[in-house]
């Protein structure tokens, strides 16, 4: 199977926007479509509680005519048009789609952050992990989220093997960001967030990219959109992952970032696995 995951930062802008960046985003969508993956996971859709509009659906149908769509949006009492996730999967598959609540704090369970696809022999699940925020104001809640999410994945893994993707909003080790020495107290690279990611891997999961590339530096999945030179200088972070149950590690064929050209922010990540 070929699986692709991407934090798109507004699917409305991607599908209907007229800006230069919207055009860059659509170019990446066309590139993904050309790869003909089995499953596409999309984070930070920023859709309304009603999901994709008829116009969105028409564009998606044009881009991905052989795919079914599953989506989850932020709902009250959470912020409108915030976070959100989506799956596109080939219509030859008929997975059971679930929208789990994990007992997360505040409004996190209402922000549309997790969708899970259950296949006969495995789970595919995606997550858009909450950011700890400016001044780390959400760090305490983020740690509770990490505990809840780890427990959720562990429960899935006890039933059948799991492939989990998404924007995990953490660079795990110094090799996973360009300037670790300057970001020790930044959201996404605090001791607490990194320790929780270590615990997640310790619960029975393998970081597929690092499994294949244990010493590869300069490989990132996110570059600051507001810093014009971030991508030119490859001043990035690896905060997007494909994790697999440890017992699937020997089935990983490839795990890589997909080149998104000049577009800053997240780039898609791909997992090829022999199931």
Catalytic annotation, residues:
128, 167, 266
Tell me if 44 is assigned to a ligand binding site. Answer: yes
DSSP line for 127-173: EEPPP--GGGTTHHHHHHHHHHHHHHHHHHHHHS-EEEEEE-----S
Tell me if 167 is assigned to a ligand binding site. Answer: yes
Cα R_g (the chain), whole angstroms: 17
- 140: number of Cβ within 10 Å: 12
Tell me if 169 is assigned to a ligand binding site. Answer: yes
- 218: number of Cβ within 10 Å: 9
Tell me if 265 is assigned to a ligand binding site. Answer: yes
Contact call for residues 92 and 39 (beta carbons, < 8 A) = no
**Longest alpha-carbon distance in the chain:** 48
Binding-site residue ranges for Mg(2+):
7, 44, 167, 169, 265-266
Q: Binding site: residue ranges?
A: 7, 44, 167, 169, 265-266
């Amino acid at each position: 199977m070929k699986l692709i995951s991407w934090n798109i930062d507004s699917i409305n802008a991607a599908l209907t926007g007229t800006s230069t960046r919207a055009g860059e985003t659509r170019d990446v969508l066309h590139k993904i479509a050309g790869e003909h993956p089995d499953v596409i996971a999309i984070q930070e859709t920023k859709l309304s509680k009603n999901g994709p509009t008829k116009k969105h659906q028409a564009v998606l149908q044009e881009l991905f005519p052989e795919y079914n769509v599953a989506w989850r949006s932020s709902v009250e009492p959470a912020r409108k048009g915030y976070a959100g996730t989506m799956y596109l999967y080939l219509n030859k598959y008929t997975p059971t789609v679930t929208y789990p609540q994990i007992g997360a704090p505040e409004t996190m369970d209402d922000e549309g952050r997790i969708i899970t696809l259950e296949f006969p022999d495995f789970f595919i699940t995606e997550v858009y992990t909450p950011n700890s925020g400016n001044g780390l104001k959400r760090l305490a809640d983020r740690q509770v989220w990490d505990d809840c999410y780890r427990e959720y994945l562990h429960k899935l893994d006890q039933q059948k093997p799991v492939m989990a993707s998404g924007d995990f909003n953490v660079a795990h080790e110094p090799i996973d960001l360009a300037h670790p020495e300057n970001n020790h107290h930044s959201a996404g690279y605090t001791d607490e967030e990194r320790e929780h990611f270590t615990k997640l891997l310790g619960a029975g999961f393998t970081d597929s990219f690092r499994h294949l590339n244990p010493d590869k530096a300069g490989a990132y999945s996110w570059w600051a959109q507001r810093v014009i030179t971030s991508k030119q200088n490859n001043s990035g972070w690896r905060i997007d992952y494909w994790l697999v149950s440890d017992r699937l590690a020997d089935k990983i064929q490839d795990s890589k970032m997909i080149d998104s050209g000049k577009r800053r922010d997240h780039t898609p990540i791909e997992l090829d696995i022999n199931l």
